[in-house]
Amino acid sequence: MIAAATTAAMICSCNDKSTKNISGIDASKFETTYTDALRGEKAVHLYTLRNANGMEVCITNFGGRIVSLMVPDREGKMRDVVLGFDNAQDFFPENHSSDFGAIIGRYANRLNQGRIVVDGDTIQLPQNNGPHCLHGGTTGWQYQVYDAEQKGDNQLRLTQVSPDGDNNFPGTMNVSVVYTLTDDNAIEINYEATTDRRTVINMTNHAYFNLNADGSTTILNHLLTIDADSYTPVDSTFITTGEIATVEGTPMDFRKAKEVGKDIDNYDFQQLKNGNGYDHNWVLNTRGDASRPCARLVSPLTGIALEVYTTEPGMQVYTGNFLDGTVIGKQGIAYPQRSAICLETQKYPDSPNKQWDESNAYLNPGETYRSYCKFKFSVEK
């Protein structure tokens, strides 16, 4: 049973205005409030998780965003491997419309024409990405303030109540997201949600990874492996066509480790032209088995490696194609095109409008939506 969202019960030591984290993030720059039409004014904070190895993750309850993520490189130096901002205000939508590090909901990825059908009724959602609804609409959960409770040094629980009609999605939903930093240098994310009306739900985390630990560089040198024999093609508006296509003999084949940049500009392959690079969902061979890694990413520069585990059937890979150097992030760095890669475990895009039995995105009263993702870090010498 998911408890209703509670007020913040514990603020960790990183909220001491006199301290900074090992990433250099100043917690006092996250001490503010944010007001939205549905939830009113709520307090924003920064929370820090640490493990026995000195790994550190800073998370803000504004959108449940991972702000910084410090992991050791091959020399043992702690390095920040995610893009983002060093203050709360830059995450606010009136300043930047970004998904950096955020919890995405109600529905991650795109819904065709912003429409879903629930109990025979066609519901029109916001069309905030061309003709489609992207990442829950104009004010999706990445722009909401969660209530937060930190449990010890290594766990943060975020909760909220999403009212019926939130971005026109049906049903009042009680939502819980638990971040746990383990002593084997993994971040576990457990999502849960319940509803009082039939609705759709598809949550993910939208961390922008750069394992070079330098947001001024691209991730084209990263070696990527995806345990997937097929993917879901998209049209020129980025919406899935309904087809499940083989990766065999195409630039979409990452079954063996391959540089992200090797084929990314091969626009003779229509899917890369449609996606402006990689912005596609892979159909995972792991099929919900979270004991097996579904993907692996390595920076040859730092030796930092990342493995992804999930209970979800799909993973969207987005290679920062629409970053263009105009966004100034942490440490005053301008983020160029393809300076990050996102590995978003989720249902297939537009599942409510497609005939994919393995990717059912509907949730009924009395049921509990559950999803699990783990980002595990290690070092290649």
Question: Residues 277, 153: one domain?
Answer: no
Measure the CA angle with vertex 41, ends 40 and 42; round to 5°.
120
pLDDT band at 199 (very low <50, low <70, confident <90, very high): very high
7, pLDDT greater than 60: no
Question: Residues 129, 249: one domain?
Answer: no
Question: How many domains is the chain built from?
Answer: 2
Q: What tens digit of pLDDT does each residue of 350-359 get?
A: 999 998 988 8
- Catalytic annotation, pick one of 135, 206, 222, 280: 206
Question: Residues 167, 236: one domain?
Answer: no
Question: Residues 301, 264: one domain?
Answer: yes
pLDDT at 19: 57
Is 344 annotated as catalytic?
A: yes
Contact between residue 63 and residue 141 where contact means Cβ atoms under 8 Å apart: yes
Question: Residues 243, 350: one domain?
Answer: yes
Question: For residue 214, how many C-alpha atoms fall within 13 Å in the half-sphere facing its CB?
Answer: 11
How far apart CA 338 and CA 46 sit, in angstroms, is 27
Q: What tens digit of pLDDT does each residue of 45-63 get?
A: 999 999 999 999 999 999 9
Question: Residues 152, 23: one domain?
Answer: yes
Question: Residues 200, 287: one domain?
Answer: no
Question: Residues 342, 280: one domain?
Answer: yes
In a domain? residue 317:
yes
What is the reported pTM? 0.94
Q: What tens digit of pLDDT does each residue of 61-108 get?
A: 999 999 999 999 999 999 999 999 999 999 999 999 899 999 999 999
Q: What tens digit of pLDDT does each residue of 333-369 get?
A: 999 999 999 999 999 999 999 989 888 999 999 999 9
In a domain? residue 18:
yes
Domain around 313:
223-361
In a domain? residue 326:
yes
In a domain? residue 238:
yes
Question: Residues 254, 289: one domain?
Answer: yes
2, pLDDT greater than 80: no
CATH of residue 55's domain is 2.70.98.10
Is 41 annotated as catalytic?
A: no
